[in-house]
Amino acid sequence: MRGFLVSSIGVTCAAALALPLTPPAVATTARPVPATEAATAARPAPLAGTPDTTMAGRRAAEPYAPGSTQSLPLEPLTRNRAVPTAPDAHEQGVTRRPVRHFSLLGVVWDDPEAELHGRVQVRTRAADTGTWSGWQDVETHNADHAADRGTPESTSGRVRGATAPLWVGDSDGVELRVRSQPEKAAAASAHHGTGIRNLAAAPPLPYGLRLELVDPGDDAPPHGASADGPRTADLAETSAAAGASAATEASVVNADLAPLDATEIPALNSAETEQEFLALNAGELTEQQQARPYVGPRPRIVTRRGWGANEGLRERGFRYTKKVKAAFVHHTASGNNYRCSQVPSLIRSIYRYHVKSMGWRDIGYNFVIDKCGKIYEGRAGGVARPVLGAHTLGFNSNSMGIAVLGSYGAKKPSSAAVKAIARLTAWKLGLYGMNPRGKTYLKSAGSNLHRKGKKVRLNVISGHRDGFRTSCPGRKLYGKLGSARSNAARYQGR
């Protein structure tokens, strides 16, 4: 794979040299507001109905919005009955209030190993109408989407525990409640609306709970603009230069497939894909591979530049694994209330949440697919290369993670999304000689389903729940993976 791959050792060393000397502070209940957030905090939260609360009005007033994260500490909502003056540690939240514009939210806490056993619900106010939504549940089980334990990403000191993100659209008001519950009661309450509360038997909530409100901003910063908002002239110039360098870095790794700074990698037909594959891997293929490469046609892929990634947010450099032997399919559990035209904003929000709120080096998934079937580049490093992700705890090595935007426990995924899974895996797995209908072995790095060091036999196209005891990618999407495997093999010509 000489044409597609670079030395993982060399690039990893480059990544290490490029790491910032001062990592972001880990969140605590008294976490100071970062300078980049303080700059935007100076702008007061507008009341619904004022001219600049509409999306059109806000964009006219601010032709370029860099994106931001508001971090609000949770406070006790009730008092302990046994000790009336003491706050109740089993119910916390954020009282209804106006806030700066945001489109995605989640809850984070200090210890990434701590679990939130309970129910998280939120109400938001639509910025354009001033209407409050009903209570919505936020998926609390998210620790299974993470870097493997013991890796530099998981031991950086920046990682936090977190819920799944929830997309709510352009909003300017919020109210949140978090209630601790025994595991079975929490599940029953979330799925059936029973309202079960058994606080006496409930475990305490994790320490340092904060509500993260993410504004995705408008696309990538233009050349010469600061990546995270207003700064002094010197800092802005340095930030702009670093952002431009990072953007070039993210684009160069796809240079074999598309021009520098391309917003998309074009689709190829079968003959064109095979010709490109043979040319880029000349001298490294067996006679059988040269005769029948079994690589599916390359699908159209929107690049990071295409969805507006702010490359100044992520950690510099890339980390690779050896090959891609399996694809794990996920859902983002971020809700289905999005339009396909909003997807770039949604991905930018998840990216910012993963990096700024959860403390990861980049977005966790290698690829993202929307309900209209469009495919997007995820974690930086090159779409054809074996980029090490943070998507399936215990099985990130020698695999890739594909996330379908939405929640698919009760809702069926679109046929376009399932077809996109098949087309993407037919191409990417084909580059590494893998049969989408086949089986493979991966060594577990440790999960709640497979002990560390165990060699696990898996489908080449697996669901997240095959590597970790979780509901992801949702019952309805998991049920479509058989169809994706068959179609991917067909696209490869098998």
pLDDT tens for 250-267 read 999 999 999 999 999 999
How far is 212 from 69, CA to CA, in rounded Å?
A: 6
How far is 205 from 494, CA to CA, in rounded Å?
A: 51
How far is 290 from 286, CA to CA, in rounded Å?
A: 6
For residue 488, give the amino acid letter.
Answer: A
Length of the chain: 494
At residue 237, the pLDDT reads: 57
Supply the pTM of this predicted model.
Answer: 0.81
For residue 218, give the amino acid letter.
Answer: D
At residue 302, the pLDDT reads: 98
At residue 202, the pLDDT reads: 78
Q: Could you say which DSSP state residue 387 is in?
A: B
Q: Cβ–Cβ contacts within 10 Å for residue 434, how many?
A: 22
pLDDT in tens, the chain (494 residues): 545 544 444 444 344 434 333 333 333 333 443 433 433 333 344 444 333 444 444 333 333 447 999 999 999 987 655 555 455 578 999 999 999 999 999 999 999 989 999 999 999 999 999 999 999 999 997 666 677 777 888 888 899 999 999 999 999 999 999 999 886 654 554 444 444 444 456 788 999 999 999 999 986 555 545 455 555 555 555 556 666 789 999 999 999 999 999 999 999 999 999 999 988 887 787 787 788 889 999 999 999 999 999 999 999 999 999 999 999 999 999 999 999 999 999 999 999 999 999 999 999 999 999 999 999 999 999 999 999 999 988 889 999 999 999 999 999 999 999 999 999 999 999 999 999 999 999 998 777 777 888 899 999 999 988 887 888 999 999 999 999 999 999 999 99
At residue 229, the pLDDT reads: 52
Question: 474-491 burial, b for 16+ CB within 10 Å, e for fewer?
Answer: beebbebbeebbebbbeb
DSSP string, 197-252: --GGGPPPPPSS-EEEEEE--SSSPPTTS-TTS---HHHHHHHHHHHHHHHHHHHH
What's the mean per-residue pLDDT of the chain? 82
At residue 240, the pLDDT reads: 62
CA dihedral 302, 303, 309, 312 (to 10 degrees): 180
